[in-house]
Amino acid sequence: MPLTQWLQQLFFFFFGYKTNFGGAHSLFNCSFLPDLGSSFWGMTLVLASTNLITARIAAGCLVLALLIVLFVAKNWTLRGLCIGFIIFLAVIWILQEKTQVRILRYVILFIGVMNSLFSVYDIYDDLISRRVHSSDAEKFAELCPCPCTGVGWGIIWGMISFIFLCGSMYLGLVILS
């Protein structure tokens, strides 16, 4: 398997982008992991925003991830968004280092909170409120031996995502106090 295809599958597995992809395990062909992964990364960014050094590390990792997406992306809209966001983070970082503006921690906090909140909303919108038999939760319910429906799995994933969000806010406040 070429390196670009491997990176693409790794990206799809952890961050989403399409529901089905070729893989060895049929349980991982559903994209519930991107929703929970997005919530996890949001939690990580919220916790990283509590300290300037960890905010710098998080911003560097975010720029690195955006550079990987920039080369893996197949359309120019996503590439343009990546370029714009890389420039935005670079400007914020330069302002952080060269002037009295100390905004990097707040930008990382904002990105983390929005990532977590959108993950909870996306799980609710895609898996709980819609009654579509082709949703990821329905496909996962068919594959999983548990007697849970797709809406049940959506509620479980939504609760996990919401716990990540609440846990990150609590731990962030504990770290800051």
Query: pLDDT digits over 120-149, tens only?
Result: 888 888 777 766 666 666 766 676 667 777
- The residue with greater pLDDT, 14 or 85, is 85
Residues 117-136 as b or e (16 or more Cβ within 10 Å = b): ebbbebbbebbbeeeeeebb
pLDDT score, position 23: 45
Q: In this structure, what DSSP letter does residue 117 have?
A: H
Please tell me the distance from the alpha carbon of residue 17 to that of residue 38, in angstroms, as a whole number. Answer: 12
Please tell me the distance from the alpha carbon of residue 37 to that of residue 16, in angstroms, as a whole number. Answer: 9
pLDDT score, position 9: 57
pLDDT score, position 3: 63
Question: Contact, 42 vs 168, CB < 8 A?
Answer: yes
Tokens 């349980």, residue? 27
Looking at the domain assignment, is residue 90 inside a domain? yes
Looking at the domain assignment, is residue 25 inside a domain? no
3-state helix, strand, coil in the chain (%, to 5): 80, 0, 20
Looking at the domain assignment, is residue 24 inside a domain? no
Looking at the domain assignment, is residue 126 inside a domain? yes
**Residue-range definition of the domain harbouring residue 59:** 3-11+31-176
Looking at the domain assignment, is residue 18 inside a domain? no
Q: What is the pLDDT of residues 6-52, one digit of tens each?
A: 555 555 555 544 444 444 444 444 455 567 778 888 889 999 998 89
Looking at the domain assignment, is residue 111 inside a domain? yes
Looking at the domain assignment, is residue 94 inside a domain? yes
For the entire predicted model, the pTM comes to 0.74
**Structural domains in the chain (count):** 1
How many C-beta neighbours within 10 Å does residue 88 have?
11
Q: Is pLDDT of 117 > 70?
A: yes
Q: Is pLDDT of 75 > 50?
A: yes
Looking at the domain assignment, is residue 22 inside a domain? no
